[in-house]
Structure 1
Amino acid sequence: MAKILVVEDDPDISALVVHKLRGAGHTVLDASDGEAALAAIRSEQPDLVVLDWMLPRMNGLEVCEAVRADAALDGTRILMLTAKAQEADLERAFAAGADEYLQKPFSTRELVVRTQALLARP
């Protein structure tokens, strides 16, 4: 299956997402702040990053923009998983390079389905 990096500063949400994605057969790594996430993305080159917006040290939009600016990470897919729910937030996330957007609170089933759909894209 795929290698996925979960970037979430809330340990309970992180544990839930990691558990569900591992249960779906993926190799899952985690990070709890934006700088650690970017370092892990560069070193591990995951197929997919499940990325929170509001993170310490570097927010999710900044991480997303840095990934999109790095040609070596061109194939990395990004699913924003965030409590930000305004239309303008959605627009900003997609403008930064997010491939998918899922609002908290979220269904773990929907998370797995959207993850599978993103990974299936060519």
Structure 2
Amino acid sequence: MTQRILVVEDNDLNRKLFCDVLQASGFDVEPVADGGMAIERARSFVPNLVIMDIQLQDISGLDLIAGMKNDVALCDIPVLAVTAYAGKGDEERIRQVGAEGYLAKPVSIVPFMNAVKGLLDRSAAPAPLPLHA
């Protein structure tokens, strides 16, 4: 089954680049330009991964990540946060709201795909079996 990735990015060029690279790698991709539609689209598309821009025009990507992580239907979907404003403490703050991955823009293709595949592999891995005493 093809893995599905929701790309939440309000910059047209970045959104197209992310989507083109992911589609060329065989993923089913759903682009979202309007952050206000991200959670609704995630519920209908049911992605295996969300790529989330942090600096959206209409809403904070941090708020969207927190909203997803507080939603029973979406909380287990890993999030790869991308931001152009990578400052001291930003990665920690982004991970605190629930993002499992983080990349600073400009994003290079190889690190981007490594992060995507790493998060998908980690989320698809079976849970470890409990040890019996």
TM over 0.5: yes
Pair 1:64 & 2:61 matched:
no
Identical counterparts, % of pairs: 34
SS in structure 2 of the partner of residue 19 of structure 1: helix
Instruction: Provide, for residues 51-105 of structure 1, a one-character-per-residue CA deviation record: whole Å limited to 9, x for no partner.
Output: 0001122210010000000111132110001112113111110011000000001
Whether the 8 Å contact between 1:3 and 1:27 is mirrored in structure 2 is yes
User: By how many angstroms is 1:33 displaced?
Assistant: 2.1
**Unaligned ranges ≥5, structure 1:** none
SS in structure 2 of the partner of residue 87 of structure 1: coil
Which structure has the highest helix share of the two? 1
Give 1:40's aligned residue.
41
Matches within 5 A, 1:66-105: 66-105=67-106
The one-letter amino acid paired with 1:48 is: L
Structure 1 residue ranges, 4+ long, deviating more than 6 angstroms after superposition: none
Alignment partners' CA distance in 1, 2:57 and 2:39: 12
Select the structure of larger CA radius of gyration. 2
SS in structure 2 of the partner of residue 66 of structure 1: helix
Equivalent pairs, count: 122
The CA RMSD over aligned residues, in Å, is 1.0
SS in structure 1 of the partner of residue 68 of structure 2: helix
The one-letter amino acid paired with 2:55 is: M
